[in-house]
Structure 1
Amino acid sequence: MPRKSPEQTILLDQLKQIAQGLGETFAPFCEVVVHDLLDPKHAVLAIHNNLSGREVGHPATELGLARILDPEYPQVIANYANQFSDGRQAKSTSIGIKDSQGKYIAALCMNVDLTLFQSFQTAIGQFVSVDAQLAPGESLDPAGTDLIRTRIDQFAARLATSPRALKADDRRALLQELKSAGLLDVRRAMETIAAHLGVSRASVYSYAK
């Protein structure tokens, strides 16, 4: 194995810390691997949430070898289809790490096991499905509250923010806009506004003055 420069050693050590943090954040669904491309025969330097069955010291992947051979190889390849050895589908992202000389020295790879999420997707799809033909035209939401929420969302979007991130002055302007549109007269309007803004009803009344 070639001797590493102090810079390369520091980069690899820092990358191991990043990988640990990502692994702890996205456990147990995402495998996070650090590849030492300076030692391709024993490239796997660290592995968290081991989903692939690999071990520290395993060789570089084809992607890693491609980076070793070509410094111009794309540095970030995100969300590409992959597969674990047992056939489970995965979504992978690989990030190449270069030193100050522009040489690939490492790669940070994340492999998400899609199996569980696909099961969730199927279950959720079944759960939220409704039969519109059987609907009696009933609504559990008072008429007009959907419009209130839509107007709040539109107001926040114009300011490039979210309803709950609106500042006090913006909330006052919003309430005046809703008042001018007659939406404060809708039943449970104040309660709807408070819930959508994430504030108390008392605050909404004060903004409306």
Structure 2
Amino acid sequence: MTSTRSAKPPQAVGPAATRTASGVSATRPLEENALLLREGRKIVEALGATFAPLVEVVLHDLTDPDHAIVAIANNLSGRQPGDAVTEMGLARIADPAFPEVIANYANRFPDGRPAKSTSIGLKNSAGEYVAAICLNMDVSMLAAAAASVQQLVNVANAAPAPVRETLAPRRLDDIAPLITEFAARHNTTPPGLTLAQRRDVIRVLEARGLLDLRQAHAEVARTLGVARSTVYTYLSDPKGSS
């Protein structure tokens, strides 16, 4: 007597059961692609708001090269959603090994304005380029601003001042701390400075215009612990020849 075996029920057919050899759903790349594009829209919107009005931000759908542009912020190039992909996008579509990030390359808008561009390719888990986010900065606007700033700060052609001027405040109370700090750098106190060091600190005070203050010489003498007349000798013989 031969035994009979019940036949296995047929496998369900549909997206949920469509599997690759590795067991991954074949619909997964499509879902990933849609997710990348959806998240890309948020990035374009955020970058556009941050860098307006200088930077155009564009999202390209590389799975539909003839109608690649799906979002554009701060439109500087005149392109519209539904326009075709650029040469950079075509290169990514043709070669998955094409660099994912091309930063700060020279470009140009249709009307001739110079641009600085950055292109970022987005891949799915299969390693296929799905989208690209491109930033195009209008450097002509910045160049004009830079020229104005340069004109403001340019002193190359300015006539020299008749006297050397410092804009720092000059106060009698600054003399003692300056001498004390100078002495500390030489591991000593103001009265302990050598003759050469005293002449050096006098030159520092003179360069800062502090010796032009009333009572300045008396303050220097008090801090160094010398007679006021001695301070005058430092000034009259700055090289220490006597």
Instruction: Name which of 139, 142, 147 aligns with 2:166.
Output: 139
Corresponding position: 1:49 with 2:74? yes
4+ residue segments displaced more than 2 Å: none
Distance 2:185 2:68 in 1: 64
Whole-angstrom distance in 1 between the partners of 2:66 and 2:42 = 22
Q: TM-score, normalised by structure 1?
A: 0.66
SS, match of residue 110 in structure 2: coil
Output the aligned Cα RMSD. 2.5
Q: Deviation per CA, 1:128-160, whole angstroms, max 9, x where unpaired?
A: 0114651331111248xxxxxxxxxxxxxxxxx
Q: What is the aligned partner in structure 2 of residue 95 from structure 1?
A: 120
Q: Which has the higher helix share?
A: 1
Residue equivalent to 1:65: 90
Please list every run of 5 or more consecutive structure 1 residues that lacks an aligned counterpart in the other structure.
144-176, 183-209
Structure 2 gap segments, 5+ residues each: 1-26, 171-180, 187-242
Distance 2:36 2:138 in 1: 28
Post-superposition offset of 1:181? 5.4
Taking the TM superposition and a 5 Å limit, the aligned residue runs for 1:53-202 are 53-130=78-155, 131=157, 133-135=159-161, 136-142=163-169
Q: Distance in 2 between matches of 1:141 and 1:68?
A: 62
SS in 1 for 2:98: coil
Which of 39, 43, 49 aligns to 1:14? It is 39
Between the aligned partners of 1:14 and 1:121, the Cα distance in structure 2 is 35
SS of 2:119 mapped into structure 1? strand
**CA displacement at 1:54 relative to structure 2:** 0.2
Deviations 1:5-50 (A, max 9, x none): 1111011100110110000110111000000000000000100000
With normalisation by structure 2, the TM-score equals 0.57
Percent identity (aligned): 52
Task: Tell me the distance in 1 between the aligned counterparts of 2:164 and 2:124.
Answer: 64
Q: Distance in 2 between matches of 1:9 and 1:34?
A: 13
Please say which structure displays the higher CA radius of gyration.
2
